[in-house]
Amino acid sequence: MPEIGQIAEKVRSKNAGPFWVTIDIFCGNDAAFRRIAAGLPTATVAALFHTTPDAIKRFDIADLAVVKFSLPRPQIQGIAADRDMHGAGWGPLVAEIEIA
Amino acid sequence: MTRILIPSGALGLGYDAEALDRGIAAGPDIIAIDGGSTDSGPSYLGRGVSKYARSSTKAEWKGLVAARARAGCPLVIGTAGTCGTDSMVDWMADITRECLTELGLSARIATLKCEQAPAAMAAALREGRITPLPAAPEVDAEGVAACSHIVALAGTEQIAAALETGAEIVIAGRTTDTAIIAALPLMRGDHAGAAWHGAKVGECGALCATHPQTGVLQLDIDATGFTVAPLAPQAACTPQTVAAHMLYENSDPFILYEPGGHLDVTRATYTPQDSRTVRVEGAEWVPAPAYMVKLEGARRAGFQTILLTLVRDGRYVANIRDWCAQIEERHAARVAARMGLNAGDYRLELRLIGVDATLGPLETAAPAAAEVGVLAIVTAATQEAAQDIAKLLNPLVLHHPLTPQEDQPTFAFPFSPPEIDRGAAWEFCLNHVLRLDDPMSAFRLEVHDA
């Protein structure tokens, strides 16, 4: 099965303030958007982040062919246990999810 | 109609000087630029310092001070010096006076200070005037009082008050990214939804266009919507690039909370005007019953010393977690015996570069590198303790054998000494809002002629 990063144009993650991270999947076209929106359950993303689906805000934006997820950061930005000051590393994690 | 010239997403990132000149020639009503963000971490607010070099801040600001004089319109910077503390407003005002002197210019300067006394904020928390936002950290009054700096994010009301003084240059402490852009069109009666939406689209300069690093953006806000275009000829705004900017660093791409209400862009429409200009209408501003400003606070969280070891031996790379676990056990015993410190008194992490340094327990990929960087991060109550704990680790990460009977191995240290003091560690401890009866009551406005 292909990875999301092979179907979508771009997957990025970024801080949304010090306490949230947001992940944008730019699908690139309608067909890719429909495939990713239908093939990527919120529960899969939640499991990847060791959290529950109700902790995740999801936006399927057909006009932009974007699927977006926002969730509290796994670690608050900048504390000793945080590994990624700008929240850049979670995008690749999502890009590597395999879907049908 | 209000024409806003935005030189770049932040002072210090650079802007295209020719595109700026084009913007000045088009007759802006205001030049607005952001000076900061929390995005680079809590250290800047904790220390009250700027991320960007004074030299680049001054060079870019001097260009804007000169451009402002040519345009004859106000120039405003929000979140001066990365974190927007009072010290950074003063820093920026000093830089401004130097620029004016060197350019042979004079100007009326308004400064807006946004810092809050930690003791007063601790009292406000006890009195219920401070409330948490989603995903706020647990913090009590004592924790708030321990902050080195707390800033309140000013909105358009405070920027409008600064502009009403007749100031030609406004230097604001911490503001929302949008407030410096939305203030003037709101003062002039343009469409409120358009003012806030245009401000959100424009706050990162040309990041809402192709060729985002050209920086310079022109935003026209009027009675029904806004029109946006980048000013470098090779860059273009399209409905896609403009709408997509609402995704950037926003947890919700449709709703944006600001002091005094929220922006709702659910019904916004994005229409191309030509190949590089986009018209946007349909955003709504929804006033809130209470006036709230967001707070940011940072406090010291100990001191750190780091130490990097490189492991290239294949057997050690294959058994790196076991090796680290053995070292942690021996090290904890040495720290307890020689320093009298126990697990709760300090924190040691051996972060494995090449294995899972970025994602930690969330990593799903198998490590494939021939070497592993072992980054030891020691956090302790004082720098001296952190340094000593790291020194007790040094012989272990240099020579620890996987099995007791084998020859003593040696691993690669890139530096001597390997222990590197990082100074204080800082943490954000507020994701809260403060209720104000009068929007100006938490802010201090001063006017200086320079």
Q: A55: nearest CA in chain B? A: B135
pLDDT at position B196 over 90: yes
Of the candidates B250, B379, B427, the beta carbon closest to that of A76 is on B427
Gap between the Cα atoms of B308 and B352, Å rounded: 10
Q: What is the dihedral of CA B338, B342, B344, B345, to 10 degrees?
A: -20
Domain ranges of chain B: 2-297+430-449, 313-411
Q: A69: nearest CA in chain B? A: B251
Q: Does A63 sit within 8 Å of B243, measured CB to CB? A: yes
Q: Average pLDDT of chain B?
A: 97
pLDDT at position B337 over 90: yes
Distance from CA of B324 to the nearest CA of A (A): 17
Does residue A78 sit at the B interface (CB-CB below 8 Å)?
yes
Does residue A54 sit at the B interface (CB-CB below 8 Å)?
no
pLDDT at position A33 over 90: yes
Q: Does B254 sit within 8 Å of A80, measured CB to CB? A: no
Percent of chain B scored above 70 by pLDDT? 100
Of the candidates A16, A84, A86, the beta carbon closest to that of B250 is on A16
Q: Does A70 sit within 8 Å of B361, measured CB to CB? A: no
Interface residue of A29, A45, A70 to substitute, partner B, most B CBs within 10 Å: A70
Q: Average pLDDT of chain A?
A: 97
Contact indicator for B100, B450 with CB cutoff of 8 Å? yes
Residue written as token pair 């977690």? B321
What ipTM did this prediction achieve? 0.94
In single-letter form, the type of residue at position B261 comes to G
Q: Does B248 sit within 8 Å of A50, measured CB to CB? A: no
Percent of chain B scored above 90 by pLDDT? 99
Residue B262 burial (C-beta neighbours within 10 Å; 0-12, 13-18, 19+): middle
Distance from CA of A1 to the nearest CA of B (A): 16
Residue written as token pair 């399209």? B238
Give CA separation, B229 vs A27, B16, B238, B264, B270, in Å: 25, 14, 9, 22, 13
Contact indicator for B333, B310 with CB cutoff of 8 Å? no
Over residues B205-224, mean pLDDT: 96
Query: Residues B171-193: pLDDT tens digits?
Result: 999 999 999 999 999 999 999 99
Q: Place B372 in a pLDDT band, splitting at 50, 70 and 90.
A: very high
List phi, psi (to 5°) of B174.
Answer: -60, 125
Distance from CA of B340 to the nearest CA of A (A): 22
pLDDT at position A70 over 90: yes
Q: Count other C-beta atoms under 10 Å from residue B217's C-beta.
A: 32
Q: Place B368 in a pLDDT band, splitting at 50, 70 and 90.
A: confident
Query: Residues B381-426: pLDDT tens digits?
Result: 999 999 999 999 999 999 999 999 999 999 999 999 999 999 999 9
Q: Does A96 sit within 8 Å of B249, measured CB to CB? A: no
pTM, whole model, 2 decimals? 0.96
Query: Which residues of A fall within a CB distance of 8 Å from B137?
Result: 19, 76
